Every structure is written in structure tokens, then in C-alpha cells.
Amino acid sequence: NDLLQTRVLGRRIIHFQSIDSTNRKAKELAEQGEPEGTIVVAETQTGGRGCAGRTWDSKPMEGIWMSVILRPTLDLPSVPCITQIACAAVGQALETMVKAVQIKWPNDILVNDKKISGVLTESSGEIDRVQYAVVGIGVNVNQNAEDFLPELAEKATSLKRETGKAQSRQKLCCTILEALERAYLLGDGATGMECAITYCKDHSVTLGRPVSFMENGMEVHGTAVDIDERGGLVVRTPNGVIRHISSGSTLVR
Ligand code: BTN
């Protein structure tokens, strides 16, 4: 597509009218050796995946449902930093259209305290070397208030609801991919990653707040104080102990 100004991401775009999950398809392709940068997009997903095994509602023509195949030189525990890069990329892209973007660790992008976008990174490989990572990005673009499931109406929003008019999904998609590529290619280790994490910290609605997480089957409480270089949340427990939680663990509050 002529609009897209990237070198690697989106060099190949695989488009589906309807698919179960772009993440599932992208993983399948990655397993078969598909190179870094290939993108799977769909107009509708019938089995969109959310984080923590949840489903993700992806109606036709209303949002961006896409997955990007990456082959980063990272160890598995560092993969969550890819989610932070993607959150920052989506946030930066949205900021060109809405006033304030908030990031809720580990993978939610909010506007006016409502979720507008979510990121789901799935990876495979050895502990010391990732084989591939699939970054799934869902953005609510042109949904009307009544398009949301009743239980989500208060918690979720779309770009159309926030800006008062329909927006080009294609244009937004390009802006996100350009921002993602800038951070990812610059980084693959240092700078881009740092900038992305700084962005997520600066826009965080999690830092400074009480959080709780499960550790060895026990609920641990504390205050979120930082995001580390691997994309993990740094939590200070009441007795002053510092814990690093990877995005894999569940935050209860
Ligand atoms: C979350 O916030 O729970 C993450 C949602 C991620 C949704 C996207 S839509 C494109 C990609 N394919 C999927 O099945 N899920 C992700």
C-alpha cells in the first residue's frame, strides 16, 4: 500500500475478510518461516483473542485487527517489552487525533479512562533466544456507542466516539506501523525500547497506584512504582520489598 512508509513492517500484508484470529494465523505463518515484518489483517475475527485467555470482540469494518510477525534478538523473559513498544506506538498514533492517551500496564490503551485498544504479544522459542513474536493489535475505530456489548459500553470506547466522526482505519494503521517500526528497529535492544518504555511510564495510569498480583498462589499487594527495561512492572510491597512482575502474571486490581 502506497500510504505506508516503512522498510520492514508491512512489506507483505496478508488480508482476510474474516478469520478466527489474526494472531493465530500469524503464529502459524511464523512457524512456517514467514519473515519478520509480515502482517496479517482481517476485517472481522470470529475468535479474536484477548489477554489472559479472554475473547476480543472484533466486528466487521469497525476496527483494526492486525498481527505483526517480529523476529527480535531477545530472550523470552524480555518479550513483554515488545508489548510496551506496541502500546507506545498505538498511543503515539492516537495522540494525533485525541487529546490524552493513557496506558494501563501491561497492554491497554485508554482514552478518557475507557479502553480503546489492546495489545496481545505471543511468542515462541528457547528461554535465551526468541524464535518469533507475534504482536496482535486491536483498535476500536468506528464503533458507535451501541455497537459495544452492554457490559463493555462503560468500559470501552472507539476513536469515532472520542472524536465525533468516522476515521480512516487505513491511515491509522499506517501511522501505528510507522511508529512501531521506528521504535522496534531503532531499539532491538536500546534506544527505541527505552523511548517506548518512557512513553508508557509518562502516560501510565498504573504507576503510583495500588496493585495486587498472584505469587505462588498467594495474593500480594503493593504499589506500582516503575516499569523495568523488560517491560515488567516494578511493585513495592508494604514491607518495602521490590518485586518485578512480568506481564504474564495477573494483576488483580
Ligand atoms: C487485550 O487487550 O486483551 C488484547 C487484545 C488484542 C486483540 C488483537 S485484535 C488482532 C489480534 N488477533 C487476536 O486474536 N487478538 C489480537
Q: Is 124 annotated as a binding residue?
A: no
Query: In ligand 1, which atom is closest to the CA atom of 117?
Result: 2
Domain with CATH 3.30.930.10 in the chain: 13-202
Ligand 1 proximity of 232 Cβ (cutoff 6 Å):
no
C-alpha 120 to ligand 1 mean position (Å):
5
Cis peptide before 106 (omega within 30 of 0): yes
27 CB within 6 A, ligand 1 = no
The string of pLDDT tens digits covering residues 80-115 is 999 999 999 999 999 999 999 999 999 999 999 999
**pLDDT per residue over 218-248, tens digit each?**
888 999 999 999 999 999 999 999 999 986 6
Identify the CATH assignment for 210-245 out of 2.30.30.100, 1.10.150.120, 2.60.40.10, 3.40.50.1400: 2.30.30.100
Is position 170 annotated in a ligand binding site? no
| 137-157 residue pLDDT tens | 999 999 998 888 888 888 999
Q: Where in the sequence of the chain do the CATH 2.30.30.100 domains occur?
A: 210-245
Instruction: Report pLDDT digits (tens) over 183-197.
Output: 898 764 567 788 899
- Predicted local distance difference test score (pLDDT) of residue 58: 83
* In contact, 63 and 142? CB cutoff 8 Å: yes
- What is the CATH number that goes with domain 13-202? 3.30.930.10
Task: Specify the pLDDT at position 253.
Answer: 57
Per-residue model confidence (pLDDT) at position 35: 97
Cβ 105 under 6 angstroms from ligand 1: no
Query: By alpha-carbon position, which residue is closest to atom 11 of ligand 1?
Result: 136
Interface ipTM: 0.99
